[in-house]
Amino acid sequence: MKFSANSVWENKDQYDVAVIGAGHAGCEAALACARLGFRTIVFTVSVDSIALMPCNPNIGGTSKGHLVREVDALGGEMGKVIDRTFIQSKMLNKSKGPAVHSLRAQADKAFYSRTMRQVLESQENLEIKQAEVVNILTEDVDGRKKVTGVQTYSGAVFRCQAVVLCTGTYLKARCIYGDVSTNTGPNGLQAANYLTECLKDLGVKMNRFKTGTPARIDRNTVDFSKMEEQKGDERIVPFSFTTDPESIQKDQVSCWLTYTNERTHEIIRKNLDRSPLFSGMIEGTGPRYCPSIEDKVVKFADKSRHQVFIEPEGLETNEMYIGGMSSSLPEDVQYEMYRSVPGLEHVKIVRNAYAIEYDCIDARQLRPTLEFRNIDGLFSGGQFNGSSGYEEAAAQGLLAGINAARKLQGKEGVILDRSEAYIGVLVDDLVTKESHEPYRMMTSRAEYRLLLRQDNADQRLTAKGYEIGLIDQERYERLLKKEKLIETEMERLKKTYVGTTEEVQKLLEENGSTPLTSGSNLAELVRRPELSYEILSPLDHNRPEFPNDLREEVQEQVNINIKYEGYISRQKKQVEQFKKMESKKIPENIDYDQVKSLRIEAVQKLKEYQPVSVGQASRISGVSPADISVLLVYMEQLKSNR
Amino acid sequence: MYSESSTIAAISTSMSEAGIGIVRISGEDAFQIADRIYRGKNNKRLSDQKSHTIHYGYIEENGETIDEVLVMLMRGPRTFTGEDTVEIDCHGGVYVLRRVLEACIHAGARPAQPGEFTKRAFLNGKMDLSQAEAVIDVIQSQNDYALKSSVSQLRGSVKKKIDDIRNKILYHTAFIESALDDPEHISIEGYAQVLERDVEELKGRLDSLLASADDGRVMKEGIKTVIVGKPNAGKSSILNMLLGEERAIVTDIAGTTRDILQEHMNLQGISLNIVDTAGIRKTDDRVEKIGVDRALSQAKEADLIIYVVDSSMPLDDNDRKIFQFITGKKAIILLNKSDLERRTGEEQIRQMCAERGMKDTPVISVSAKEEEGMEEMEHAVKELFYHGDLSFNSEVYITNARHKHELERAYGSLEKVLESIRMDMPEDFYSIDLMDAYESLGNITGETVGEDLVNEIFSKFCMGK
């Protein structure tokens, strides 16, 4: 029993939404609901762990940087907070195409958490409560379950109309290394042990996933002279479209690169039998994209070394993160293994590496709005949905929060599709595909990635954020102005001709470009791989002056849009086709048993997933193109019958 | 999913040498596509002509005239599909129809999916609601057929070639993607040169597949001709005689061919897909029994049955069983071993045919050993075909056209990769076209992309963190 009958009491304060968990998903969800005017309470097992970063000390990275930009463009908080608290920043893949440029910042972890907590604390309509939620209270309305509140470990009942579950890795969490196992959440925090049972009682199907983290070491015991220094970019680019780039140019802290070696691998191989993963003590499924060092050594036995990044955890701590060497080997092996790495010979471990197992859900029970299909008013986001990563969590938290609020507003839920945002790809994958490991975003998962760039997230989503109510008038107008400037400038370049003058040929030659044989418009020249909008500026005598705060952004957009116009318009065409199928909505009450000629496998799959659109149905494995045709014909028949 | 065109084309008459044949185009670009391949008098453009009119002219591709045709123009919605529709009446003939269909595809149409015309007609409100179930049946049955023909008619060696190409494409893409995803662990400096070499090579392989698609080596298309008979009647020898090569193992031990052998041959312009089968007899040998069952099921699906009778042996129960089986089917009966002493004669067989209402069934004496009777047999096949008694489902050709279309698309995608490399485009652009090629080839072998790329990345490349 969690609480005695006489400790049950009803809190009479009025709430609209309860958010369970105050990690990266919970913070965004709570802020979104409160900002949309709903009285929101966010529960956390420890107020000190709000917006905690229990694993890597950075925000962003390939495709994750895109997510942060999108969260920001929709009116979320993550981008703004990391812009205030980063200690190093880097644009990855700068030599590659614009679609894969990805921003990544090293965070001062403690500062990040504190800053986010302050944002929450100063948010109107938002209340923070330290308590473990053990029950989701529901009532039956017309045969459907509907959320009515939550109950905490102490027995207190908080009535509300919507609940957003953002429990991260805390549900029945278990941390393991060697043969040591503790029933705690990340960083030794208290686990949430009761909610799982309640969810199961509500008919929710649970999964058990696993992930891991490397050790944290004492900076004073690291010999940096044996490592390569990894500096940040000279010119820092902010995450948030609202951050003035000038305001964040500052001194940065370095990361350090070193390598494992044969001796490291030998130590690991020798002790594999003591690893809980190999002994079967861990049953959860681990992620393939961040394998533990023992996984790497086993799976890629031919590699003689693996990279190791030593990253600071903040400015006011000596702890450093050992990127690339997460592990669940016993403590003594951890010491031996880390100390075999050049520069770490005398290293002192502050926190041991560990693997963590936790309960999460099979997200196929969710609608693309992140509401449970069978429980009205229950939403969920983040690692609880079977994803991994701070950014993935924030993105889902924001969407779940928005949709919880929309529900209370009586408005239709917001669904982002795969052609609009990485968030759309993320959510569609989670709710449509079976997954056996925590899901991580990757740019290769986005079929229209040339359109879903981090640099144009605002053009893709800010109007939506405005419509939702999380973007203010001023920011929206700035966007409109920016779009207008881009369009006008692109038109102008297409109509601005240069001849075969000496000035032109000289500039082309200087940049290794073939001289012109006849006149050309400037847009044509921008397209040449060796040239760019910027390089051509001396030839462009009538180039307009852009407002200071928009100049960099407008120029970047003009350059990219013209340079890759062919590819971009190709993907836009594909998107048109895609949208046609997405816009064909499947009626909620459809009875697939009535659809004659649908193959049995297809009927089973369609019943299980209940896709919202024909487009989503076509992505379910086991549903063939012919089944889709049959479905279309059947839907047409239904429509006409009405 | 096809994305580049919503205008579809298909051969919409059955494929026989008799009469005329029609290639139908439907969709918003139907008229424009027809204009690209049609040449009429005074350079008139079809898209300028009135609806529901007929025009005389020629279908041309690359300056070469394919056929003299009548083109029927119908603007939507007063058409079967409700869309703009063009029907091209050709002079029949498998080869011509195929060329005209291909010309349409090169001009921007895509091969229709199974049942797609009917589906469009329904979705565009051109059919009564009560017909919905019939429409669904058409879609599913044509799809079943297409699936069967797509997979079963694709030669095993071709499937393997395509799979090999796909695997290579996937590997390269996965490498590029892993480097893009984890640039600090995996570098692709200088990879463009490696990729260029490999893509050139893959393009060459696609080129030879495309060449073989033209002469029917990709698809086992043609009239499905099944050779049946008792064990040791000499079925395999007949096959070898027809093919002019030792394909089947021939011994004088009854029951040598225990499974099915398939070969494709062109008999004076008529395409035959010949299936040799195990001898049909009552047997207790389990392996042989499987062969016999297969032989019977092959014969059930056959367009033409060649029944080989050993004339040096008297007819027995097994023969009577086979006779029962071929009753009502198009068949040619060969009295083999005419070089040996005769125990069963032509008259006896004709008599049996007549009793079963098959008096027109040709009966020919042959000797596979001495290669006698071959000409008469060819003649008999031709007669059946030109009289229109023999035809076959055009879906096979459509499937072939689809396959070719996909091969061409894959080829085009690889060309774009090379172009991007030569233009010095960033590496992430290579993967876009590589994956397009991968998808196109998967459409041939019936495999979707799914999680292939992500799986390949994780299984082949060591990611960081």
Helices marked H in A540-582: 551-563, 565-582
Q: How are beta strands A17-20 and A162-165 bridged, if at all?
A: parallel
Which CA distances in Å does B34 have to B79, B102, B127, B406? 16, 12, 26, 21
DSSP per residue, A260-295: --HHHHHHHHHTGGG-HHHHT---SBPPSSS--HHH
Is B234 marked as a binding-site residue?
yes
Q: What is the pLDDT of residue B209?
A: 85
Region of poorest pLDDT, from A296-300, B1-5, B440-444: B1-5
pLDDT digits (tens, 9 = 90+) for B98-122: 889 989 999 999 988 877 888 888 8
Q: Which long-range contacts (CB under 8 A, 24 or more apart) does B292-298 make?
A: B294/B259, B294/B260, B295/B226, B295/B228, B295/B260, B296/B325, B298/B226, B298/B260
CB-based contacts of A567: which residues, under 8 Å, 6+ apart?
A450, B429, B432
Judging contacts by C-beta atoms under 8 Å, the chain A residues touching residue B431 are 444
Region of poorest pLDDT, from A44-48, A557-561, B246-250, B353-357: B246-250
* pLDDT averaged over every residue in chain B: 80
**Which token pair is A219?**
């900076």
By C-alpha distance, which of B446, B447, B444 is closest to B407?
Answer: B444
Same domain for A539 and A485, yes or no, is yes
Q: What is the pLDDT of residue B393?
A: 54
Pairs of CB atoms within 8 A across A/B: 131
Q: How far apart are CA A99 and CA B180, in angstroms?
A: 10
Instruction: Let me know if residue B142 belongs to a domain.
Output: no
Q: Given its phi and psi angles, is residue B401 left (phi above 0), alpha (psi -120 to 50 degrees) or beta?
A: alpha
Taking an 8 Å cut-off on Cβ atoms, the answer to whether A634 and B135 are in contact is no
Interface subset of B 153-192, CB within 8 angstroms of A:
177, 180-185
B129 touches chain A (CB under 8 A): yes
Q: How far apart are CA A484 and CA A496, in angstroms?
A: 18
Instruction: Let me know if residue A350 belongs to a domain.
Output: yes
Judging contacts by C-beta atoms under 8 Å, the chain B residues touching residue A299 are 462
Same domain for B190 and B302, yes or no, is no
Same domain for A323 and A349, yes or no, is yes
**Which token pair is A576?**
């048109």
Q: In the predicted model, is pLDDT for residue B218 greater than 50?
A: no
Task: Tell me the nearest-neighbour CA distance from B85 into chain A, angstroms.
Answer: 21
Same domain for B170 and B44, yes or no, is no
Judging contacts by C-beta atoms under 8 Å, the chain A residues touching residue B427 are 96-97
Same domain for A241 and A331, yes or no, is yes
- Angle, helices B191-214 vs B395-422, to 10°: value is 160
Q: Other CB atoms closer than 10 Å to residue A609's CB: what's the count? A: 21
Which CA distances in Å does A200 have to A20, A195, A207, A374, B191? 17, 9, 11, 13, 51
Please say which residue of B357, B386, B415 terminates a domain: B386
ipTM score of complex: 0.90
Q: How far apart are CA B372 and CA B367, in angstroms?
A: 5
**Which token pair is A551?**
């100049």
Q: In this structure, what CATH number is given to the domain that contains residue B356?
A: 3.40.50.300
Same domain for A232 and A347, yes or no, is yes
Q: How far apart are CA B358 and CA B103, in angstroms?
A: 42
Task: Tell me the nearest-neighbour CA distance from B234 into chain A, angstroms.
Answer: 43
| Residue predicted with more confidence, B154 or A390 | A390
Same domain for B269 and B237, yes or no, is yes
Go through chain A and tell me how many residues it has: 642
Is A296 marked as a binding-site residue?
yes
CB-based contacts of B9: which residues, under 8 Å, 6+ apart?
B23, B24, B25, B26, B33, B101, B104, B105, B109, B110, B111, B112
Q: In the predicted model, is pLDDT for residue B5 greater than 60?
A: no
DSSP state of A470: S
Sheet strands (E) in B197-311 = 223-229, 261-267, 270-276, 304-310
Same domain for B232 and B202, yes or no, is no
Same domain for A327 and A223, yes or no, is yes
Instruction: Let me know if residue B130 belongs to a domain.
Output: no
Q: What is the pLDDT of residue B217?
A: 45
Q: How far apart are CA B379 and CA B386, in angstroms?
A: 11
Same domain for A613 and A562, yes or no, is no
Is A299 marked as a binding-site residue?
yes
- As a whole number, mean pLDDT of residues B175-185 equals 91
**Which token pair is A80?**
């703004």
Instruction: Let me know if residue B145 belongs to a domain.
Output: no
- Domain total of chain B: 3
Q: Given its phi and psi angles, is residue B243 left (phi above 0), alpha (psi -120 to 50 degrees) or beta?
A: alpha
Q: How far apart are CA A163 and CA A42, in angstroms?
A: 10
Q: What is the pLDDT of residue B247?
A: 46
Taking an 8 Å cut-off on Cβ atoms, the answer to whether A626 and B143 are in contact is yes
Same domain for B240 and B369, yes or no, is yes
Same domain for A316 and A234, yes or no, is yes
Is A164 marked as a binding-site residue?
no
Minimum CA–CA partner of B435 in chain A: A447
- Domain total of chain A: 3
Taking an 8 Å cut-off on Cβ atoms, the answer to whether A567 and B428 are in contact is no
Q: How far apart are CA A215 and CA A222, in angstroms?
A: 13
Same domain for B375 and B402, yes or no, is no
Same domain for B162 and B302, yes or no, is no
Instruction: Let me know if residue A111 belongs to a domain.
Output: no
Taking an 8 Å cut-off on Cβ atoms, the answer to whether A96 and B4 are in contact is no
Q: How far apart are CA B421 and CA B433, in angstroms?
A: 11
B253 touches chain A (CB under 8 A): no
- For residue B210, what are the domain limits? 156-216+394-460
By C-alpha distance, which of A65, A62, A22, A24 is closest to A45?
Answer: A22
Taking an 8 Å cut-off on Cβ atoms, the answer to whether B113 and A625 are in contact is yes
End-to-end CA distance of chain A: give it in Å, rounded.
Answer: 52
Same domain for B229 and B372, yes or no, is yes
Helices marked H in B73-190: 94-106, 116-123, 132-152, 156-181
For the four alpha carbons of A176, A179, A184 and A187, in that order, the dihedral sign comes to negative
Q: How are beta strands B21-26 and B64-74 bridged, if at all?
A: unpaired
Task: Tell me the nearest-neighbour CA distance from A354 into chain B, angstroms.
Answer: 14
| Residue predicted with more confidence, B392 or A465 | A465
Q: In the predicted model, is pLDDT for residue B394 greater than 60?
A: no
Q: How far apart are CA A390 and CA A477, in angstroms?
A: 30
End-to-end CA distance of chain B: give it in Å, rounded.
Answer: 35
Q: How are beta strands B270-276 and B223-229 bridged, if at all?
A: parallel
Same domain for A294 and A337, yes or no, is yes
Please say which residue of B77, B94, B112 terminates a domain: B112
Same domain for A499 and A628, yes or no, is no
Minimum CA–CA partner of B189 in chain A: A95
DSSP state of B129: G
Same domain for B358 and B412, yes or no, is no
pLDDT digits (tens, 9 = 90+) for B24-49: 999 999 999 999 999 988 888 999 99
In single-letter form, the type of residue at position B27 comes to G
Helices marked H in A125-251: 195-201
Taking an 8 Å cut-off on Cβ atoms, the answer to whether A444 and B181 are in contact is yes
Q: What is the pLDDT of residue B261?
A: 60
Judging contacts by C-beta atoms under 8 Å, the chain B residues touching residue A573 are 3-4
pLDDT digits (tens, 9 = 90+) for B123-153: 888 877 667 777 777 676 666 655 555 555 5
> Does an H or E element contain B326, and which?
helix B317-326
Query: Among A62, A96, A634, whose Cβ lies nearest the Cβ of B426?
Result: A96
In single-letter form, the type of residue at position A371 comes to E
Q: In this structure, what CATH number is given to the domain that contains residue B206?
A: 1.20.120.430
Q: How far apart are CA B393 and CA B372, in angstroms?
A: 32
Same domain for B186 and B308, yes or no, is no
- For residue A616, what are the domain limits? 584-641
Is B63 marked as a binding-site residue?
no
Q: In this structure, what CATH number is given to the domain that contains residue B46?
A: 3.30.1360.120
Site of tokens 């070639």: B161
Percent over 90 (pLDDT), chain B: 27
Same domain for B230 and B376, yes or no, is yes
- b (16+ CB within 10 A) / e for A238-252: bbbbbbeeeebeeeb
Is A634 marked as a binding-site residue?
no
Judging contacts by C-beta atoms under 8 Å, the chain A residues touching residue B416 are none
Q: What is the pLDDT of residue B258?
A: 47
Instruction: Let me know if residue A440 belongs to a domain.
Output: no
Instruction: Let me know if residue B132 belongs to a domain.
Output: no
Minimum CA–CA partner of A296 in chain B: B462
Q: Other CB atoms closer than 10 Å to residue B380's CB: what's the count? A: 18
Query: Among A62, A300, A573, whose Cβ lies nearest the Cβ of B3?
Result: A573
Query: Among A433, A529, A632, whose Cβ lies nearest the Cβ of B423?
Result: A529
Residue ranges of chain A whose pLDDT lies below 70: 1, 284-285, 641-642
Task: Tell me the nearest-neighbour CA distance from B186 into chain A, angstroms.
Answer: 10
Cβ atoms of B136 and A596 within 8 Å: the answer is yes
Same domain for A526 and A637, yes or no, is no
pLDDT digits (tens, 9 = 90+) for B329-340: 888 898 888 888
Mutation choice for A interface testing from B6, B117, B136 by most A CBs within 10 A: B136
Q: Give me the phi and psi of A468, to 5 degrees please.
A: -70, -35
- For the sheet containing A126-130, what is the strand order? A126-130, A40-44, A17-20, A162-165, A378-380
Rank A244-253, B225-234, B254-263 by mean pLDDT and report only the highest: A244-253
Task: Tell me the nearest-neighbour CA distance from B344 into chain A, angstroms.
Answer: 50
Q: Give me the phi and psi of B382, to 5 degrees please.
A: -60, -40
Q: How far apart are CA B361 and CA B352, in angstroms?
A: 11
Please say which residue of A320, A355, A390 terminates a domain: A355
Same domain for A563 and A597, yes or no, is no
Taking an 8 Å cut-off on Cβ atoms, the answer to whether A626 and B139 are in contact is yes
pLDDT band at residue B271, thresholds of 50, 70 and 90?
A: low
Number of H helices, E strands in chain A: 20, 25
Instruction: Let me know if residue B138 belongs to a domain.
Output: no
Three-class DSSP category at A380:
strand
Minimum CA–CA partner of A444 in chain B: B177
Task: Tell me the nearest-neighbour CA distance from A634 into chain B, angstroms.
Answer: 7
Cβ atoms of A438 and A47 within 8 Å: the answer is no
By C-alpha distance, which of B453, B455, B452, B442 is closest to B154?
Answer: B442
Minimum CA–CA partner of A563 in chain B: B425
Is B237 marked as a binding-site residue?
yes
Q: How far apart are CA A407 and CA B239, in angstroms?
A: 72
Taking an 8 Å cut-off on Cβ atoms, the answer to whether A324 and B457 are in contact is no
Q: Given its phi and psi angles, is residue B176 left (phi above 0), alpha (psi -120 to 50 degrees) or beta?
A: alpha
Query: Among A93, A306, A633, whose Cβ lies nearest the Cβ of B132?
Result: A633
Instruction: Let me know if residue B71 belongs to a domain.
Output: yes
Task: Tell me the nearest-neighbour CA distance from A300 into chain B, angstroms.
Answer: 7
Instruction: Let me know if residue A417 belongs to a domain.
Output: no
Is A205 marked as a binding-site residue?
no
- Angle, helices A331-338 vs A262-270, to 10°: value is 170
Region of poorest pLDDT, from A545-549, B11-15, B187-191, B432-436: B11-15
CA B377 to chain centroid = 25
Q: Other CB atoms closer than 10 Å to residue A223's CB: what's the count? A: 14
Q: How far apart are CA B165 and CA B362, in angstroms?
A: 46
Same domain for B280 and B382, yes or no, is yes
Same domain for A346 and A220, yes or no, is yes
| Residue predicted with more confidence, A585 or B261 | A585
Instruction: Let me know if residue B421 belongs to a domain.
Output: yes
Q: What is the pLDDT of residue A222?
A: 98
